[in-house]
């Protein structure tokens, strides 16, 4: 897998995302979308639209699901359809462990040292989205969105090889962060980019990544004043292709010492059930 080090991953991801969203003649688009659904064992009956109505694989990737198949539970809920890879308390030095002993700084992840101090005694949940999963991201809590940040970066894969090979992977890769204030402390929803993630887009603010990888991009922050109300289970963003979401809690909402790893989750399902 070391060969990927030599590939311009931002350009590759932009190209793949552009091709995946290119509208095709209906017979061809139907054939390709059907093939994609079969290849990844996707239950297309959960979508709000029939499979034949999607003009491209990219459009099918960002399909909406029928609300009745994803009821929103109580408390703190999963922000995605995906796999829970880890759940852990932030260490005393403000680090979290990815897997296999690879640590990363919460301050680096969030792109803001002063704000990260609020999370020094917090908790981190890591979710992976496979091509099988729907790729919208939803708020895990009721609250108000006070700040949005786009942190430019690399687009390494987020698979096991990259986790082992790339030090501080989640701090290196591009990410978009929504900071949500709640009565029980702040929650950061971190959308992490990866190879072939064409774009990350927010639903509530004009941030969309990787539109022009040939241009230099600086970190961009939006402070929302007044803050934007959000309900748990409400869509806040989309991966236009797949990746990883990290939840960072200011306060520790659960005892995660016995939380099972590699657990499939659906958006809107209570996280307390996993503890």
Identify the pLDDT of residue 274: 86
Answer whether residue 15 is part of any domain: yes
100: tokens are 């296999």
Rg (CA), the chain: 18
For 53, phi then psi, to 5°, come to: -85, -5
Measured CA to CA, the distance from residue 221 to residue 170 in angstroms comes to 18
Measured CA to CA, the distance from residue 172 to residue 155 in angstroms comes to 8
Write out the chain's pLDDT in tens, 275 residues: 454 554 555 555 556 666 667 788 888 899 999 999 999 999 999 999 999 999 998 889 899 999 999 999 999 999 999 999 889 888 755 566 554 456 778 888 998 878 888 998 899 999 999 889 989 999 999 999 999 999 987 776 676 666 666 667 778 788 999 999 999 999 999 999 877 666 789 999 998 886 665 565 667 889 999 999 999 999 999 998 768 999 999 999 999 877 777 899 999 999 998 87
Domain count, the chain: 2
Whole-structure pTM value:
0.88
Does one domain contain both 76 and 188? Answer: yes
Q: The domain containing residue 14 runs over which residues?
A: 8-61
Does one domain contain both 20 and 102? Answer: no
Measured CA to CA, the distance from residue 69 to residue 26 in angstroms comes to 28
Identify the pLDDT of residue 95: 64
Would you say 190 and 140 are in contact if contact means Cβ atoms under 8 Å apart? no
Question: Which residues lie across from 176 on neighbouring strands?
Answer: 150, 191
Does one domain contain both 56 and 129? Answer: no
Identify the pLDDT of residue 211: 63
Identify the pLDDT of residue 3: 46
Answer whether residue 81 is part of any domain: yes
């Amino acid at each position: 897998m070391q060969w990927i080090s030599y590939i311009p991953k931002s350009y590759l991801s932009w190209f793949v995302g552009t091709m995946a969203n290119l509208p095709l003649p209906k017979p061809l688009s139907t054939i390709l979308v059907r093939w994609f659904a079969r290849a990844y064992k996707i239950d297309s009956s959960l979508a709000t639209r029939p499979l034949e109505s999607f003009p491209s694989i990219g459009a099918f990737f960002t399909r909406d699901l029928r609300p009745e198949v994803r009821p929103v539970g109580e408390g703190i809920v999963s922000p995605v359809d995906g796999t829970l890879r880890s759940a852990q308390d932030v260490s005393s030095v403000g680090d979290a462990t990815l897997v296999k002993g690879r640590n990363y700084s919460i301050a680096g992840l969030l792109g803001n040292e002063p704000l990260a101090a609020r999370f020094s005694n917090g908790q981190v949940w890591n979710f992976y989205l496979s091509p099988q999963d729907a790729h919208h991201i939803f708020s895990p809590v009721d609250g108000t969105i006070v700040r949005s940040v786009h942190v430019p970066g690399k687009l390494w894969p987020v698979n096991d090889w990259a986790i082992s090979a790339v030090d501080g992977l989640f701090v290196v890769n591009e990410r978009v962060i929504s900071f949500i204030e709640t009565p029980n402390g702040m929650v950061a929803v971190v959308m992490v980019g990866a190879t072939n993630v064409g774009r990350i887009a927010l639903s509530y603010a004009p941030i969309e990544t990787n539109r022009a990888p040939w241009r230099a991009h600086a970190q961009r922050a939006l402070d929302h004043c007044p803050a934007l109300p959000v309900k748990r289970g409400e869509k806040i963003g989309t991966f236009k292709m797949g990746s990883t979401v990290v939840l960072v809690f200011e306060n520790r909402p659960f005892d995660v010492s016995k939380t099972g790893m590699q657990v499939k989750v659906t958006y809107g399902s209570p996280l307390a059930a996993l503890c």
